Amino acid sequence: MADEAILMKNVCKDFKVLNRHEGLKGSIQDLFSRDYRTVSAVKDVSVTVNKGEIVGYLGPNGAGKSTTIKMMTGVLEPTSGQILVNGLVPYKDRTRNCENIGVVFGQRSQLWWSLPLIESFKLLRDIYLVPQKEYEDMIALYRSLVDIEPILHKPVRQMSLGQRTLSDILAAFLHNPGIVFLDEPTIGLDVSMKSKIRDLIRGLNKEKHTTVILTTHDMGDVDALCRRIVIIDKGKKIYDNDIEHLKSYFGSYRTLRMRLGDDTWEERVIDEKTTDVMEVISQMQKTHKIKDIQLQEISTEEVIKKIYEGGSL
């Protein structure tokens, strides 16, 4: 019990959606319609996350990721199943649950738009009732991890997207929560900012043993931060294990790259269990001249893409 930050057991979430009709006539019909259908956004998902873990929570758009996160934060109530976050039932104890979680949504900011960042920090300090000593320690920790001086006194609305995201992440960790939910934290950022943010997240996780739930579509984030990933698709959990394991789980795939006579690289993803690599090369050699051959481990990105597309390549 003590080691579990999040416990989800057979969680389901259904939504009632109005069946909309087409055209103007349809729109008028909809005004009086009681014609609902049930959409299952999350189906029977069970996940346990231990304290201090960084878990990548992946899935294609519309898979039910946000719905799950909203249930874990207490905004949504599950239709059935059990959720415990830091030992609390989130939707019943929403306020207390909120005291012990932090959230970052890459596309939205919780900071006070027209005020300098430091004022948002002070405000959050008071809202979360953080003792002054802990607040100062946290700011000191931030200083040691990133260069916050240039942004500390800058109004949030004047910040670049990268600075704003960085600030939002710092704001989410400010009250030293047990769990932080990061929803696409690196969306829209440049390469160097992405790596800065990854370092920051890793640093904070290490220093404070904060559990991090990371949803992202950027496999670079996953490779850099997560040892374990959970994948859901169409509301169902389809993978929950180490990231290394992932690459062999869906077949022993490798990428075969061949440089042909006209200096172009030809790429093939091959399942070594079912296809013979040499066979492919000799087939290719019959029609093309091969100058160079490389055999690479498949990237996480490609594995994930395969999974999202339904397992066949």
Partner 1 sequence: MSLRKFLALTRAGIMESLHYRLGTIVTLFANLIYLVLVYYLWKAVYASSGVEQVNGMTFTDTMIYLILATALFNFLEMFVVWDMSRSIQSGKIILDLLKPMDFRSYTFWSYSGSHVVSFVLTFIPTFIVVMIVTRGAIHMGLNLLYFAISVVLALLINFGIEMLVATVCLYTESTWGINIVKETIVLLLSGASIPLAFFPERIRDVIGYLPFRAVYDIPLTVLLGKGGSDSLAGLIKLWGLQFIWAVVLYVAGVLFWNHSVKKITVNGG
Residues at the contact surface with partner 1, assessed by CB under 8 A: 15, 66, 70, 73-77, 94-96, 98-99, 101, 103, 105, 107-110, 112-115, 119, 122-123, 125-129, 183
Nearer to partner 1, 15 or 250 (CB): 15
- Angle at which helix 161-173 crosses helix 191-208, to 10 degrees, equals 10
Question: Do 79 and 14 contact (CB within 8 A), yes or no?
Answer: yes
For the CB of residue 67, give the shortest distance to partner 1 in the complex, in Å. 9
SS3 310: coil
Nearer to partner 1, 73 or 167 (CB): 73
For the CB of residue 236, give the shortest distance to partner 1 in the complex, in Å. 20
Nearer to partner 1, 167 or 302 (CB): 167
Nearer to partner 1, 82 or 294 (CB): 82
Distance CA 99, CA 70 (A): 15
Q: What angle do CA 279, 285, 290 make, to 5 degrees?
A: 120
Question: Do 102 and 181 contact (CB within 8 A), yes or no?
Answer: yes
For the CB of residue 81, give the shortest distance to partner 1 in the complex, in Å. 16
- Angle at which helix 132-145 crosses helix 117-127, to 10 degrees, equals 140
Distance CA 156, CA 98 (A): 23
Strands 228-233 and 211-215 come out as unpaired
Nearer to partner 1, 34 or 273 (CB): 34
Nearer to partner 1, 21 or 94 (CB): 94
What is the token pair recorded at 28? 């008028």
For the CB of residue 34, give the shortest distance to partner 1 in the complex, in Å. 14
SS3 103: strand
For the CB of residue 252, give the shortest distance to partner 1 in the complex, in Å. 36
Nearer to partner 1, 58 or 76 (CB): 76
Distance CA 101, CA 83 (A): 15
Strands 54-58 and 36-50 come out as unpaired
Element housing 238 (H / E): strand 236-242
